[in-house]
Structure 1
Amino acid sequence: MRGLYFEEFEVGKHYKHAMTRTVTEMDNVMFTSLTMNIQPLHLDEEFCKGTIHGQRVFNSLFTVALIGAFHVPELTMGTTLGNLGYDEIRFPHPVFHGDTLRAETTILDKRESKSRDDSGIVWFEHRGYNQKDELVCLLKRVGLMAKMPAELKEGA
């Protein structure tokens, strides 16, 4: 299984990724602890009872990582050369323990690299939804994508 090469991306194309994932308390506690984020909003149930959410909220950086990964098998597996940046990250709705997340991706734009002849730049918009179809994460990122190798072009 491989992702798409630069030439295969179509601006405006929309993908609904098949993978879903129910996020657990263990995911949240482990990620928050590994990243040394001691925010009680993620770790302290008693503290959170007094907040606007009334319960622990998932670490938003875990949400970015998960929503930003759902596309990998379908779009970028083995064909990405790296992230160039994130243009926008938003969290319109919180994620809680037990939510089941899914993602969709739209290709916003693409262009040839100006400094490398083996790659191009692609702009992605990833949207994450929970089981209620509430938007929980929107991220726009820029990726450096490999161009199709000559041997594949010749075989096509």
Structure 2
Amino acid sequence: MPGLYFQDFEVGQRFDHEWTRTVTEMDNVLFSTLTMNVQPLHLDAHFSAQTEFRKPIVNSLFTLGLVIGMTVNDTTFRTTIANLGMGDTRFPNPVFAGDTIHVKTEVLSKRESKSRPEAGIIEFEHTGYNQDGKVICACKRAALMHKRPAQA
């Protein structure tokens, strides 16, 4: 089932994505090591125990990828041409192994592509929350989206 096409989005449209995901220690360790991020805040329990967090925090780039990924089924599955950029990304609260994440999305803007008549640009704001309702990630994302194919 495809996601939404450019024409299906409206400015101000909101999505409360039903998917949830509990983050595991393995998620954090694998992502951090695969991306060669050896920051002890993510990987070293002894080091982390001496910080204000008292335990390892989840790599913020994993958190960002998870938050955006959890929106795909409702919005852009098979209808995105490309991500054009991400900006104004914030991580106001840490994520820890065992936290369960859910996401909401708002459509901030839409416009026709100037160079590709079969496409348009949608700007989303994705906001991730933990199980306590605290914002753990917010990001604005611009996506180049297919327009609905013409009926033959």
TM normalised by structure 1 equals 0.96
Deviation at 1:122, TM superposition (A): 0.3
| Match of residue 38 from structure 1 | 38
Q: 1:105 aligns to what? A: 105
Correspondence 1:10-29 to 2 at 5 A = 10-29=10-29
1: CA distance between counterparts of 2:27 and 2:71? 20
Post-superposition Cα deviations, 1:28-72, rounded to whole Å, max 9, x if no partner, equal 000001001000000000001111111100000000000011111
Which residue identity lines up with residue 96 of structure 2 in the other structure? F
Question: C-alpha distance in 2, partners of 1:70/1:32?
Answer: 20
Task: Please give the alpha-carbon distance, in whole angstroms, between the structure 2 residues aligned to 1:45 and 1:87.
Answer: 31
| Aligned residue identity for 1:150 | A
Q: Distance in 2 between matches of 1:95 and 1:128?
A: 10
Query: Secondary structure of the residue that 1:38 maps to in structure 2?
Result: coil
1:51 and 2:36 equivalent? no
Amino acid at match of 1:65: G
SS in 1 for 2:29: helix
Instruction: Name the structure 2 match of 1:137.
Output: 137
Where does residue 94 of structure 2 map in the other structure?
94
CA distance in 1, matches of 2:26, 2:87: 30
Structure-2 residue corresponding to 1:64: 64
Distance 1:74 1:141 in 2: 15
**Deviation readout 1:72-104 (Å, 9 max, x if unpaired):** 111100000010001211000000010000000
Aligned length: 152
Aligned-residue RMSD, C-alpha = 0.7
- Please list every run of 5 or more consecutive structure 2 residues that lacks an aligned counterpart in the other structure: none
Residue 53 of structure 2 aligns to which amino acid in structure 1? H
SS state at 2:139 partner: strand
Structure 1: which 5+ residue stretches go unaligned? none
Which amino acid letter does the alignment assign opposite residue 124 of structure 2? F
TM-score in terms of structure 2 length: 0.98
What code does the residue aligned with 2:7 have?
A: E
